[in-house]
Amino acid sequence: MSLLISARQLVEEANCLIDTLSLEEADARRSDSGVQFVDIRDVRELEREGMIPGAFHAPRGMLEFWIDPESPYFKPVFAEEKLFVFYCQSGWRSALATATVQRMGLDNVCHIEGGFNAWKKAGLDIKPKQ
């Protein structure tokens, strides 16, 4: 099969359009009440590995619907005046998600470089999914 664009290319293009926080920058913002971390991984990933403490879980497959105030699935957390810091397992899905919601009009959004894998490898705080 010959694709017009690869998944890697989509991620690279998204990364040119969005803000990316280093692990150090992201960790430094965890205690900021004006920042909301958003875990977009699948629930099985959360159950298996835990999540960043204080993160809100918004599965990637529902994200656009949870952000859109006109959607029946809208989640009020996304109407708050906060910086939303998305993350996934390795930073690919979160890059695409960040670019997509930015395109929708959610300007106060970024993602974490390297995702949860990098967070975990750096020994930063993790809590079990509850």
Q: How far is Cα 81 from Cα 123, in angstroms, rounded to an integer? A: 30
Q: What is the pLDDT of residues 93-118, one digit of tens each?
A: 999 999 999 999 999 999 999 999 99
- Name the burial class of residue 41, with classes exposed (0-12), middle (13-18) and buried (19+) by CB atoms within 10 angstroms of its CB: buried
pTM, two decimal places = 0.95
The residues near 59 (Cβ < 8 Å, ≥ 6 apart) are 40, 41, 42, 43
Q: What is the pLDDT of residues 28-87, one digit of tens each?
A: 999 999 999 999 999 999 999 999 999 999 999 999 999 999 999 999 999 999 999 999
CATH architecture, range 17-121: 3-Layer(aba) Sandwich (3.40)
The token pair that represents 113 in the structure block: 């470089």
The token pair that represents 116 in the structure block: 């949860």
The strand pair at 20-21 and 109-112 is best described as parallel
Query: What pLDDT, on the 0 to 100 scale, is given for residue 97?
Result: 98
